Amino acid sequence: MKKRRKWLSSGLINGALVLLVLLWSVPTFGLFVSSFRTREDIQTSGWWTVFPHREWQTTKTLNVKELGLDPNSIMTIEGVQGDFKQFRKGIEKGNKRIQWVGNKRLGRIEVQERKWTVNWHFTLDNYKQVLFGREMEITTAKGETETIPGQDMTQAFLNSLTVSIPATIIPILIAAFAAYAFAWMNFPARRLMFILVVGLLVVPLQIALVPILSDYNKLGLNGTFLGIWLAHTGFGLALAIYLLYNYISTLPREMLESAFIDGASHFTVFVRLVLPLSVSALASFAIFQFLWVWNDYLVALVFLGNDPTNKVVTQRLADLTGTFGNAWHILTAGAFVTMVLPLIVFISLQRYFVRGLLAGSIKG
């Protein structure tokens, strides 16, 4: 009896869990599948039709005139009786459906059967169109070739890399030096400075956008990569110092002291000892910051501006949503292009990321 109850409760737990996991995964999965479907397919059927499902398929087409039917009276077609309105909607009988297609005078009659089918017309054209800047030719389902402009997301992808990599490493470098100083050096106003760091942890970055933008206008940093690296550094630094301090201050005191006795300078100890020992903390913050910067939209929008040669992937994708709001073959592929790198980073380094989260994360 007890065993059965246990089995039941574990079934309930797993069932609920599977349901939640499905709920969480279906939106992304739908996007992923759709990005490989042809333009026509996306617009005419749901992405779930790639799974086996039953669909009405026309097996026979009959000519109204040949049958000599009068649409204004009750007709008998293939052993089914009904008037025009009913046939127009389609009359089902057994596994068959008889439907009048078109108007009264020029219509035809389709005999349809419900058949198991899958919609498997997959293509890479969407990605080609989104990634490459040149005009490109695609073949439509009807066999015609059509020339369409590409979206050149490759440039945006490179821009995102150019923004994200330095905007991840620079704050870590600066924060690691500062965290080391807070943990292992004595200097005036040390406590006051750290209080500033803690206080700035939750300050919303919106507060800084207008003043910094006016500084950038004066300094000519507007729309430059240096400008956006520094901005991301400024907005991520408080959290970076806080997290790295928490880690670096727990390193064993004796080890560092023995290095100083051997005559090592602070710089040497920092580079040779502290950095290698903190790799896991640095990595966890690096992933956090990388995802933050790569996925950021607001900071890029404000500081990189409207120059198309500088735009990052999130900006390009947002532009696409604006201009091609219903061109789902472009949007799905475009969205996946923006997601692929963070997803790879995230999946392969999830363990470090979780560790970083657990170290405490409040971001301003």
Site for another protein in 151-180 (CB under 8 A): 155, 158-159, 161-162, 165-166, 169-170, 173-175, 177-178, 180
| CA nearest to 289, candidates 361, 207, 348 | 361
Tokens of 71: 């649409």
Residues from 30 through 49 that contact another protein (CB under 8 A):
30-31, 34, 42-48
Residues from 299 through 358 that contact another protein (CB under 8 A):
301-302, 314, 317-318, 321, 326, 328, 331-332, 334-335, 338-339, 342-343, 345-347, 350, 354, 357-358
Residues from 247 through 276 that contact another protein (CB under 8 A):
249, 265-267, 270
Q: How many CB atoms are closer than 10 A to CB 166? A: 19
From the CB of 243, what's the least distance to another protein, in Å?
13
Residue 45 Cα to chain centre, angstroms: 23
| CA nearest to 275, candidates 283, 291, 293 | 283
Tokens of 349: 């380094």
DSSP 134: S
Q: Which CB atom, from 29 or from 70, has the smaller least distance to another protein?
A: 29
The DSSP line for 188-211 is: TTHHHHHHHHHHHTT--THHHHHH
When asked if residue 25 is in the footprint of another protein (CB under 8 A), the reply is: yes
Q: Which CB atom, from 79 or from 188, has the smaller least distance to another protein?
A: 188
When asked if residue 199 is in the footprint of another protein (CB under 8 A), the reply is: yes
Tokens of 332: 């799905």
Q: Which CB atom, from 61 or from 206, has the smaller least distance to another protein?
A: 206
Number of H helices, E strands in the chain: 17, 8
**Which of 80, 150, 295, 327: binder of another protein (CB under 8 A)?**
295
**Which of 50, 77, 181, 304: binder of another protein (CB under 8 A)?**
181
| CA nearest to 228, candidates 154, 283, 307, 281 | 307
Q: Which CB atom, from 84 or from 336, has the smaller least distance to another protein?
A: 336
**Which of 57, 58, 63, 214: binder of another protein (CB under 8 A)?**
214
